[in-house]
Amino acid sequence: MAALIDGKAIAEKVKAEVAAGSERLIREFGEDARPNMTLIVVGSDPISKKLVNMKANDCEASGITPTVIALSESTSEGKLLRLIDRLNRDDDVKAILCQLPLPEHISTKRVLAAIAPEKDVDGFSARIDSDDYDVAACTPAAVMRMLRESGVDVAGKHCVIVGRSNMVGKPMAIQLLLNDATVTVCHSKTEDIASHTSRADVLIVEVGRPGFITADMVKEGAVVIDVGMNYVDGRPTGDVDFPEVEKKASLITPVPGGVGPMTRAYLLVNALTLAERRAEK
C-alpha cells in the first residue's frame, strides 16, 4: 500500500517560506519591495473565478499584495492585450497572471506571449535552452519539490509523463532532464501507452480523464504523481484510479490535496522571486 504525498502539508511549508522571504525582502529594501501579483480573469466560469480568489487569498497570507481584474466574457483580444501592455509598462506591477482557459475568441498563445517574461509569474516563458530555472512553470516545479520532500531522487530513474501540454508535460520533461532523469513523454497519439507507463519508476499524469491510469498500467513500487483535475458529479477527481493504483505504488498523490495546492504555492514562490530580482537590480 502506497504512502501518501501530502501536497497540502508541503504547500503550507512552502507558503511559510514565502512569507518569511517577503518579510526579509521588505526589511532589507523597504515597503516598496513588497511582492505583488495582478490576476486577470476573463469571463464568468465559476471554477476559474474560485481559483483566482484562492490564489489572491494565498497571496495575502504570504505577504504578497494581490490585485484581481475581472473582465467580462465579451472582452476583445485587443482590449486584453492593451491591458497587459499597460501592466507590462507599469513599474508598480511586479507579477502578472492571466487565468486560463480564456474565452474561445481570444488567442491564448498571443495573450501569454504578451506578458513580459520578467513579470510572468506562471513561469510559462521559462526558456528550454537554459538551466536558469528560478522562475519555472509552477506545476513542474511543484512536482519536483514534492519528489524531493518525499526523498525521491530522479537521477538515473525512468520517469514517464503522460500528457504533453505547454503548462505541464513539456516543462515537466525539461525539469526532470535537468535533474538527470531518463524521460519518456506519452500523449494522445502514443501507441500502447501501458507498455511505457508500466516501466515507469516515476509516473506523472496529466490527461484530463478521470481514472485513465489503471493498476495494470503501473509498475509495482512506482511513484505516481496525479496532476489531473477533473470534476465528477461536482467532486474533484484525478486521472489515476486511486483506490486500485494505491495498492501497487510506493508513493502516490491524492486528488484533491496533492499537486493542486503545491502548484498554487509555487505561484507564490515565483512572485517572491520576481520581486527579489527587481529589488536587487
How many whole angstroms separate alpha carbon 181 and alpha carbon 40?
36
98 binds ligand GUN per the rule CB under 6 A: yes
Backbone angles phi, psi at 67, to 5 degrees: -130, 120
Q: How far apart are CA 32 and CA 247, in angstroms?
A: 51
Task: Using the minimum distance from each CB to ligand GUN, give the nearer residue, 141 or 160.
Answer: 141
* Buried b / exposed e along 92-117 (16+ C-beta atoms within 10 A): ebbbbbbbeebbeebeeeebbebbee
Pattern 249-278, binding to ligand GUN, x per CB under 6 A? --------------x---------------
138 binds ligand GUN (CB under 6 A): yes
Cα gap 262→9, rounded to integer Å: 9
Closest CB to ligand GUN among residues 190, 236: 236
As a whole number of angstroms, the distance between CA 268 and CA 248 comes to 34
Region from 97-105, 173-181, 194-202, 245-253 binding ligand GUN, contact rule CB under 6 A: 97-105
Binding status of residue 122 toward ligand GUN by CB under 6 A: yes
Contact 184, 204 (CB under 8 A): no
Residue corresponding to grid cell 466560469: 45
Q: Which of 58, 120, 122, 241 is catalytic?
A: 122
Q: Is 100 in the site for ligand GUN (CB under 6 A)?
A: yes
**Using CB under 6 A, which of 56, 97, 161, 217 touches ligand GUN?**
97
Residue 99 sits in the site that holds ligand GUN (CB under 6 A): yes
Residues that bind ligand GUN (CB under 6 A): 97-100, 122, 138, 263
Any idea which residues carry the catalytic annotation? 55, 99, 122
